[in-house]
Structure 1
Amino acid sequence: MAIVHNSDGDYAAGDSAATVAAEIEVFGGSKAMSIASEREAELADPIAAVIPMVLRHEEVVMHVPVEVAERARQAALASGADIIVSVGGGSTTGLAKAVALTTGLPILAVPTTYAGSEATNVWGLTEGETKSTGVDTKVLPASIVYDANLLRSLPGELTVASGLNAMAHCVDAMWGPRVDPIDQALAAEGIRALAAGLPAVAADPSGIDGIEQTLYGAYLAAVAFASAGSGIHHKICHVLGGMFNLPHAQTHATVLPHVLAFNAPLAPRAEARMAAAFHAPTAFEGLQALRAQLDAPTALAEYGLTATGITDAVEAILPIVPGNNPHPVTAENLTALLHAALIGADPATVADKPLEEGALTPNRGHGVVSVMPLP
C-alpha cells in the first residue's frame, strides 16, 4: 500500500486530482470506476475530470447493505473497470472494498473523513439486521491519497464523531485479540496526535495544520487496529449499527468512554500508555476532558436506540466478545454498559460495579504473543 503526500511530507493539500491521475498511471489503469456519494460529488468532480473514468457510481449507503454492494459489483463488471477510485468516508471506502472483495480490482482511496477504513484490510457488509465483518488482503487499498483540503468542509459535528471513531481504533487496538507491542506504540502515538489535532480542527475547521495532525492520528489508529484486531468496542458498535441502523461514527464516539472505563482498570499497562498519550492522570480522564472540549455526543438515544433493543443487542454481542478482553463480560455488566451509553450516564458508574461472582478471570496478558517484553 502506497501513501501519497507531497515532497515536503505534508498531506498534499490541494493536489489530490493530479496525484490520483498519476497513481492510476502507476498502476496501469485505463478504466476507472469512481465511487463517491452524491454528497461528496463536489469533492470528487475535480478528480473525475482528470482520470480515465468509465463509471461514476453514487449509490453509497451506511453499513454497506449486501444488495447495494451487489449492484456496485455488477456495475463494475459491466463497465469493464480495471481500478476503483473511492472518494469519501468510511461508507464509500467500505463499498469500494465490497467491490474489490469479489472482483479483485485495486482500490485507490481518497479519504474525506477520519474514518481510517482506507488503511485497513477489514471489510463489512450488512444483511437485514446483521453486520458481518472479515479480513482480506484484496480489500486493502493499494494506494491512499490524503488531501487535507478535502476535509476543510467536513461539518463540525461529523468531524468530532469521525475523529473519536479514529480514537476508538486506538483504544480497541490496546487490547485487541492479536495485539503486540508495536500495535500499542502506534495506537499511543495515534491517541497523542488525535488529542492534539481534534481541538485544533474544532477551533478552526479549515485549518490545514489541525486537519493534517488529525489525519496522521487517524492513519496510525487504523494501522494499529488492523494489526491488533477488533476488540469489544467494535463488536458492540458493529452489532448496534447493523441491528438498529445507528450512524457509524456517532455510535463509536458515544460508546467509547464506556468501554474505556470498563476495561482500563483491568489493563494497567495499556492504561498507563494511554494516560501518557493524553497527558492526563488516567486515560479515562484524558478522554473525558477531550470529549468535553469537543462537545462530543453522549447518548445513543439521540440516534434512535431504545431500551427495548438492549436485550437483543446483548444476546448478539456476547458470543463475539474476544476471549482476551481485560474485563470479564457478562450479560449483566454488558447490559449496564449499553444502558449507560443509551441514556448518557456517567461511564464511571459502570466501571465501579464489582466483578460478578463466577465471571471468568481477566486475561491480563491481553493475548499478546511476542518475542519481546511489553514496554
Structure 2
Amino acid sequence: MEFQHVSLAQRILFGAGKASAHIRLEVNRLGSRKVMVIASKPEHHLAQATLAGVNVALWWDDVAQHVPLERAEAARAAAAQAEIDLIVCVGGGSTTGLAKAIALTSGIPVVAVPTTYAGSEATNMWGITEGRTKTTGIDDTVLPVTVIYDAELSRTLPTKLSISSGLNGLAHCIDSLWAPKADPINQALALEGARALSSALRGIVDNPADLEAREQALYGCYLAAASFASAGSGLHHKICHVLGGTFDLPHAETHATVLPYVLALNAPAVPEISSRLAVALGRPGPLDSDGPKDAAAALNVLYEELDAPARLADYGFQASDIPEAVGRILAVAPPSNPGTVTEESITGLLTDALYGAKSFPVLCTVD
C-alpha cells in the first residue's frame, strides 16, 4: 500500500443549538472588529438571530447560484470599502461560494455556518461563472477557518430541498471513490459519509423535524466534503459544473439527478469498491458478489424511497443542449476516470439523465 493523503487544516464546531455561542467564540478568538455577514434574502432573519450579540459592520444578501463574476466583484468591493476583517456566511453552497470568492482575492478569513448539506464549507475549492463558463480552482486561501454545524438551523430546510442537498453530499462521497487523487483514507471517509447520509435522508423523509437525522446529515456531508477535498473533482463534478455554469441548472438538483448515471458508467470498472458502496448504502452482502449491480440497486432503492430528482428535463435542460455539454465535458473529464469517457458514452449518459431512463445498471431488481 502506497499513497499520499492530504488533510485540510480547519476548525469544526458541532452542536445543536450552539451556533450563536460558537460564532461569538470565533469572532473573539480571531480578534475581528469588522464582520461581514453573507446570507441570502430568504435566510436573512435566520442569520440575524444567529448573529445576535455580534457587532456586524456589513450585511450582504446579493447571492446567486454558481457565483456570477459580477456579483463576486460587487461583494469584493463592498468588503474592501468597509475594511472587513472577517466574513461569516450563513446558508447553503451559493452563500459559501460567494464568501470564498471574496477570500480568494482578499485573504479575509471565513467562518461558515451551513444550513444545507452542500459541503462547500469543508473544501478549498472555489467556483466563479463568467460568460456561461464555470471556472473552478483550488486555493487554501478560500478554505473557511472554522465551520459551525448546528442541526437546529437545518430544521427549516424543506424536505424536498433536504433530499436534493443530501444527495449532492452523497455525490461528493461517490465521486471521491475514484476521483484523480482517491486513496484508502478518503475512500473510508466517503463510505462512512455515504452510510450516514443515506440513513439520515431516510430519517428526514420519515420525520422532517427529527433532530438526530439532521445531525447525521451534517455529519455525513462533512465527511463527504472532507473526502472530496482530498480526492479531487471526478467526472461527476465535471459534468455538473458544466450543466450548472453553462445552462444555469440548479446545483443540488443537478447533482442528485446525474449521480445514478455516472455510477452506471463507472461501477462496472471498479467492482470491489462498488461492493463496499452497496453495503454503505444499505444493501448488505458479501464483498465478492456482483458489486456494480448491488451498488446500482442500493442507490436505486434509496432514490425510490426518497422520491429523488430523476430528470434533467425538469430543470430546463433540453436535448438540443447535449452536443455543447458533451464537448465541454470531454474537455475537462479526468483521464483517470474508471469508466470509458467518449463522446458516445457521455452523450448516452446525458440522454438517460435528461429523460430519466432506467436501464441496467441504474435500475436493478432487488432480491
Pairwise TM-score range, normalised by the shorter structure: over 0.9
Matched position secondary structure for 2:135: strand
- Give the Cα separation in 2 of the matches to 1:125 and 1:271: 33
- Give the Cα separation in 2 of the matches to 1:49 and 1:221: 30
Q: Does 1:62 align with 2:65?
A: yes
Matched position secondary structure for 1:80: coil
Residue 78 of structure 2 is aligned with which of 56, 75, 91?
Answer: 75
Counterpart residue type for residue 188 of structure 2: A
Cα offsets for 1:260-315 (capped at 9, x unmatched): 01100101122122112123151111111111110001000000000000000000
Matched position secondary structure for 1:97: helix
Partner of 2:329: 317
CA contact (8 A) 1:36 1:60 kept: yes
Give how far 1:52 is off. Answer: 2.1
Residue 341 of structure 1 is aligned with which of 346, 353, 366?
Answer: 353
Cα offsets for 1:160-203 (capped at 9, x unmatched): 00000000000000000011100100001001101111110111
- Give the Cα separation in 1 of the matches to 2:349 and 2:80: 45
Residue 22 of structure 1 is aligned with which of 25, 45, 70?
Answer: 25
Which consecutive segments of 4 or more residues in structure 1 shift more than 4 A?
349-352
CA contact (8 A) 2:296 2:361 kept: no
- Shift of the 131–263 alpha-carbon distance from structure 1 to 2, 3 Å rule, reads same
Counterpart residue type for residue 137 of structure 1: D
Partner of 2:278: 275
Matched position secondary structure for 2:305: helix
CA contact (8 A) 1:258 1:348 kept: no
CA contact (8 A) 1:333 1:350 kept: no
- Give the Cα separation in 1 of the matches to 2:335 and 2:238: 12
CA contact (8 A) 2:318 2:354 kept: yes
Cα offsets for 1:14-33 (capped at 9, x unmatched): 22112101111011111100
Cα offsets for 1:299-348 (capped at 9, x unmatched): 00000000000000000000211111111111011101000000010152
Partner of 2:7: none
Partner of 1:295: 307
CA contact (8 A) 2:86 2:110 kept: yes
Residue 52 of structure 2 is aligned with which of 49, 54, 58?
Answer: 49
CA contact (8 A) 1:18 1:50 kept: no
CA contact (8 A) 1:272 1:283 kept: yes
Residue 4 of structure 1 is aligned with which of 3, 8, 13?
Answer: 13
Worse overlay, 290-299 or 267-276:
267-276
CA contact (8 A) 2:296 2:363 kept: no
- Give the Cα separation in 1 of the matches to 2:149 and 2:198: 20
- Give the Cα separation in 2 of the matches to 1:350 and 1:192: 19
- Shift of the 351–206 alpha-carbon distance from structure 1 to 2, 3 Å rule, reads closer
User: Alignment length, in residue pairs?
Assistant: 346
Counterpart residue type for residue 97 of structure 1: K
Matched position secondary structure for 1:141: coil
Q: Does 1:143 align with 2:114?
A: no
CA contact (8 A) 1:117 1:222 kept: yes
Partner of 1:103: 106
- Give the Cα separation in 2 of the matches to 1:350 and 1:311: 23
- Give the Cα separation in 2 of the matches to 1:224 and 1:204: 28
- Residue identity (%): 53
- Give the Cα separation in 2 of the matches to 1:243 and 1:116: 22
Give the alignment's TM-score, normalised by structure 2. 0.92
Q: Does 1:164 align with 2:167?
A: yes
- Give the Cα separation in 1 of the matches to 2:209 and 2:354: 32
Residue 286 of structure 1 is aligned with which of 294, 298, 319?
Answer: 298
Partner of 2:268: 265
